[in-house]
Structure 1
Amino acid sequence: MKALVATEYQPLDRLTLADVPTPSAGPGQVVLKVEAAALNPLDLMLVTGAAKELYPAEHPLVVGMDVAGTVAEVGPGVTGYTLGDRVLGFVGQAGSVAEYTVATAGPRLAHRPDGLDGVRAAAIPESGMTAVCLLRAVGLRAGESVLVIGATGGIGLYAVQLAHALGARVVATATEADASYVRELGAAETVDYRAADVVEETLRRVPDGVDVVVDLVNRGEGLAGSARAALPGGRLVSPLFGPAALDRGVTPVYIGSFDPEPGDLEDLARRAADGSLRVEIGARYPFTDAVRAVADFAGKHIRGKVVVTVP
């Protein structure tokens, strides 16, 4: 089968569409015929080796972890899935920018409801489930205020909407060009990070500080700066790692990998199908342009998700 492949840790422009063995289903697994695959920042780090200490890659590496497709083979011990079922899921380093991939039955795989096309379905799993896990980990509640830094990215797209749906007051970062879009997602206010210091502008609008900071951009000591936007005793949550302790009693919460509960992905898919969860597709590429899709994802400001369709 054809797949987008890295043969070693390498620059993104050296990716190629190459022949690799078609996967087979082991115990607890299903093989999927891929319809669409979405890109995530971790894909870029796996290719270049920027995250090899935390996430070492096996080569050849097939790019992509989010998928929508149909079940083409069912492995031993799998129940609930049959040939031809339409699904969406997260496949990890099995790779999804390919004609076929393999997925493990469990919370990271779900049936695709009617009304949810493959392109939007592929854009949900990693970003959507990460947003769910971030808000759950920090215990965001109705009536609280939250600052979302990185609101126009893949995870931010869902974090803003889910926080709003929980009843929180959302302040989100966005350029002037993206401000109306982010407000449509559910943000009560936006902060233009190109025109003002995000923390100072947030504190001007919420003088006591927000209850929760969701930082999807900064890492390391940069998160200590973001934490200044939280009220004393508030919380900061990030999918990247930072200081073990923060000033003023702000509690840091880090999730290096998302751990969804059963039903999380099904819930996101249902919301997307009925229109209560917006799935923003910033760019869409055919399989033959997959190398360009990765380059554009890495080098351009693209609102929402980048998806590659596979014939």
Structure 2
Amino acid sequence: MTSHAVPRTQQAIVQSRYGAVRDVLALSDAVPVRAPGPQEVQVHVRAAAVNPIDWQMIEGNRRLITRRRFPFTPLFDLAGVVTAAGDRVTSFRVGDRVHADNEIDGGGASEYVNVHSRLLAHAPAGLDFAESAAIPLAAQTAMTCLDRGQVAAGTRVAVIGAAGGVGHFVVQMARAAGAFVLGVAGARNQKFVRSLGADEFIDRNATDVSSSFGADSFDVVIDCVGGREQWVQAQQVLRPGGRFVTIARDEDGVVTPASAARLLSTITARRVRGAGPRGTKYVPVFLKASGTLLRRVNELVEGGRVRVHISRSFPLTLEGVNAAIDESRAGRATGKLVLQR
């Protein structure tokens, strides 16, 4: 193992149980720093980002899907410097600037964290740690949406929630692919969404896509907001065989056996209804993070075709994490919320 001097213990923000964020997160000064396993890379965390899944997991809203062991250090998105690498790691060396969506183990709210090398990528040249931390989860999700939607040159795409963390990446990636893009967001974000490259814009609080566009207007609708109404509206504007790609559910909140059963039933029914070459395809997206996918994103970033927009930056402290989560819950951020040392 290639190694670098690090302390035996560290300061980290630790979750003790499920519950309200400010009740269950605390600062600990004695969290062990573990040597990386054979395929792991140890990262000195310099910045992290907040995503809705972070506070949903902390509160236990997703415990039916993924349970976590306590104590747990939250925040999946992180960027920093490699301080050690396992014996079987060949792509990363001490001193490399890296970033990742550490999709199971989190650790962005710690000083040092081990990340499996398959999740890791070198940070894009020219970006600082905060910008690098803002990319992994949201941009990989956006890229997956374009892949599943089969977006290419000439595709007509409507992006619902175009100003958000995932949505602002979707708009840019679709334009980079040569697609026509309609951005759907609140009126206050019109200038921002157009600056990302959207060809047209709709204020989703004043109207809806089907009121502004007729049947067969789009090949793909990418939904970053959720709610049954998005699916209903999409069917009215998609061409036969068009795709409705969504990263959200019809109903938010705690996942219970009943809501999980409803979700499964809904997905099944919509897929059956969309069967055949002319049916509307219902495509739910569940991210599978990887270094390979992240490197595809980074190529667009380094090529100047996708930029990171940081809505607000917070200190990587307990109070900073609490404040960033409050901002995320409010749902008003354009782009990404980050934390940095």
- Calculate the TM-score normalised by the size of structure 1: 0.91
Distance 2:137 2:223 in 1: 17
Matched, 1:200 2:210: yes
Question: For 1:16, which of 14, 17, 26 is the aligned residue?
Answer: 26
Corresponding residue SS for 1:61: coil
Match in the other structure for 1:282: 311
Matches within 5 A, 1:147-296: 147-196=158-207, 198-201=208-211, 204-219=212-227, 221-228=228-235, 229-240=237-248, 242-246=266-270, 249-260=279-290, 262=292, 264-288=293-317, 289-296=320-327
Corresponding residue SS for 2:42: strand
Calculate the aligned-residue CA RMSD, in Å: 1.9
**What displacement does 1:123 show?**
0.5
Contact 2:49 2:78 in 1 (8 A): yes
Match in the other structure for 2:110: 98
Matched, 1:119 2:130: yes
User: In the TM superposition, what whole-angstrom CA distance separates every residue of 1:37-96 from its partner, at most 9, and x where no partner exists?
Assistant: 011111111101111112222222211111110001111211111111111111122321
Distance 2:134 2:93 in 1: 23
Match in the other structure for 1:46: 57
Letter in 2 for 1:233: G
Equivalences, count: 304
Distance 1:98 1:126 in 2: 18
Q: Using a 3 Å threshold, how does the CA distance of structure 1 residues 104 and 208 change in structure 2: closer, same or farther? A: same
Distance 1:46 1:30 in 2: 24
Q: Using a 3 Å threshold, how does the CA distance of structure 1 residues 293 and 261 change in structure 2: closer, same or farther? A: closer
Match in the other structure for 2:157: 146
Contact 1:116 1:269 in 2 (8 A): no
Letter in 2 for 1:6: Q
Question: For 2:12, which of 3, 28, 33 is the aligned residue?
Answer: 3
Distance 1:301 1:113 in 2: 27
**What displacement does 1:207 show?**
4.1
**What displacement does 1:140 show?**
1.4
**Residue ranges of structure 2 left out of the alignment (5+ in a row):** 1-9, 250-265
Distance 2:70 2:225 in 1: 28
Letter in 2 for 1:127: A
Structure 1 residue runs of 4 or more that deviate by more than 6 Å after TM superposition: none
Identical-pair percentage: 33
- Calculate the TM-score normalised by the size of structure 2: 0.83
Letter in 2 for 1:101: V
Letter in 2 for 1:99: E
Contact 2:124 2:301 in 1 (8 A): no
| Rg larger in structure | 2
Q: Using a 3 Å threshold, how does the CA distance of structure 1 residues 50 and 250 change in structure 2: closer, same or farther? A: same
Distance 1:186 1:206 in 2: 22
Question: For 1:130, which of 116, 121, 141 is the aligned residue?
Answer: 141
Letter in 2 for 1:215: D
Letter in 2 for 1:11: A
User: In the TM superposition, what whole-angstrom CA distance separates every residue of 1:10-31 from its partner, at most 9, and x where no partner exists?
Assistant: 1122222223222321120011
**Residue ranges of structure 1 left out of the alignment (5+ in a row):** none
